Amino acid sequence: MRDKTYLDWPFFDARHAALEQALDSWAREHISQQHDKDVDQACRQLVRQLGAAGWLAHAIAGGEYGAAGEVIDTRAICLIRETLARHNGLADFAFAMQGLGSGAICLFGSAAQRAAYLPRVARGEAIAAFALSEPQAGSDVAAMQCAALRDGDDYVLDGEKTWISNGGIADFYVVFARTGEQPGARGISAFIVDAAAPGLEIAERIEVMAPHPLARLRFKGCRIPASQRIGEGGQGFKVAMATLDVFRTSVAAAALGFARRALDEAMQRATGRQMFGQVLADFQLTQSKLAQMATGIDAAALLTYRAAWQRDQGRTVTKEAAMAKLTATETAQQVIDAALQMFGGLGVVSEQPVERLYREIRALRIYEGATEVQQLIIARELLREAKNKDM
């Protein structure tokens, strides 16, 4: 029986513990722990399952659109991601992208935009995607080159986006493009582009070490109504950062799910593997490693759920979310590597649980802000706080 005493921490309400327990039971029955060879079909099926079971209602906001609440409960989405990641990395991906892909519409969309897209996202009937990164503009959003030019009642998009999760299977994309109101990041706007829009094509499907649908998008004279712009012109950077701020802490939670599963696997291996007349767990080196793994997981969990709790109290969590994301993803990498080492040669056999975890965790140290970017954010916030104290 997995230890769930962390659900008694003061960060959580009784409803959070009930949510985790219900999802864990559902996932045991409905989610396979194997990677499907047809990743696109598996992802579509997971979105439908998560929507039909009501879990995607937590990924959006607004009761009238089918959401679980009027605002997104950060602790809830973190618990959901942690639980799904422990069972199946693609299930976590499917849930997370429904939230991230529609987050800008939740936060800044018009009533018409919310009504058109959010109910379908919540029911698992429409797959969402978030299209921000470009070949020459990843962490440096201000270097964005994809352009959207106003032409009467329309905008015309030209350019490329890459590393787009759900690329190729999404029903719509929230796309960020340069509209030129001001230089740099202040001249970017956000748009909803339906997958069937003329001029949008999938330029390349990208194969990565963990099986997720990923693609490079190309826009060539892609004409969309001006009513598809999200928020005001030139506010795209604000829209993107606010959306990422909602979900960044949940990346740490997904890493926790991977790490907890790795520790579970390591404990089973250590207590069951016979070696030199005793079991692996009898060796002090093994005990030391298990202690480090468990301590790292708890430390990362405390940072993660502190950030989630603070955000749910309406506080700014720029520094706290960065600390959580950095610590949880780096710790999970170390925990999974240690678990794989305990399995020896079996650990690198394709589709073994620890081998799958080893491939799943690596991307989390990069996307939604690489570890190095999180370090810069933390330092920047510390220096800003120190300057404000001196004033």
Report the C-alpha dihedral over residues 216, 220, 223, 229, rounded to 10 degrees: 40
Q: Region 95-112: what's the mean pLDDT? A: 97
What average pLDDT does this structure show over 45-62?
97
Pick from 103, 133, 134, 145: which is nearest to 121 by CA?
103
3-state SS, residue 42: helix
Residue 198 scores a pLDDT above 90: yes
Q: Which residues are catalytic?
A: 368
Range with the lowest mean pLDDT among 42-46, 120-124, 236-240, 386-390? 386-390
Query: pLDDT averaged over the chain?
Result: 93
Residue 14: enclosing H or E segment and its boundaries? helix 14-30
pLDDT of 230 over the 70 cut = yes
- What's the pLDDT band for 2 if we cut at 50, 70, 90? low
186 exposure class (CB count in 10 Å sphere: 0-12, 13-18, 19+)? middle
Q: Which tens digit of pLDDT belongs to each residue from 325-360?
A: 999 999 999 999 999 999 999 988 988 899 999 999
Identify the pLDDT of residue 35.
Answer: 65
Least confident of 51-55, 188-192, 199-203, 238-242: 238-242
- Mean pLDDT, range 145-170, rounded to an integer: 96
Position 238 scores a pLDDT of 93
Distance between CA atoms of residues 377 and 101, nearest Å: 23
Compute the distance between CA of residue 178 and CA of residue 230 in angstroms, rounded to an integer.
13
Q: What predicted TM-score, i.e. pTM, was given to this entire model?
A: 0.94
Give me the torsion for CA of 149, 220, 98, 213, rounded to 10°. -150
Q: Is residue 98 predicted with pLDDT exceeding 60?
A: yes
Per-residue model confidence (pLDDT) at position 388: 87
Mean pLDDT, residues 203-216 = 92
Mean local confidence (pLDDT), 233-262:
94
pLDDT at 185: 80
Q: Which residues pair with 224 in a beta bridge?
A: 155
246 pLDDT higher than 90:
no
Q: Please report the pLDDT score of residue 136 as a whole number.
A: 83
pLDDT of residue 353: 92
Read off φ and ψ for residue 381, nearest 5 degrees: -70, -40
Q: Work out the average pLDDT over 262-282.
A: 91
Q: What does the longest C-alpha to C-alpha distance in the chain come to?
A: 80
How, if at all, do strands 188-194 and 172-178 pair?
antiparallel
Q: Check residue 174 and give its pLDDT.
A: 98
Q: Please choose, from the candidates 246, 251, 239, the residue with its C-alpha nearest in 3D space to the C-alpha of residue 369.
A: 251
pLDDT for 274 beyond 90: no
pLDDT value for 122: 97
pLDDT band of 190, cuts 50, 70, 90: very high
Question: Which of 29-33, 39-43, 59-63, 370-374 is the least confident region?
Answer: 29-33
The per-residue pLDDT for 391 is 65
Q: What pLDDT score was predicted for residue 367?
A: 85
The percentage of the chain sitting over the pLDDT mark of 90, rounded to a whole number, equals 82
Q: Which residue carries 């864990």 as its tokens? A: 24
pLDDT above 60: residue 1: no
Checking if the pLDDT of 93 tops 90, the result is yes
Q: Above 70 in pLDDT, residue 251?
A: yes
- Cα dist from 17 to 34, 75, 99, 220, whole Å: 27, 10, 21, 48
- What is the tens place of the pLDDT at every residue in 288-320? 999 999 999 999 999 999 999 999 999 989 999
For a pLDDT cut of 70, what percent of the chain falls above it? 98
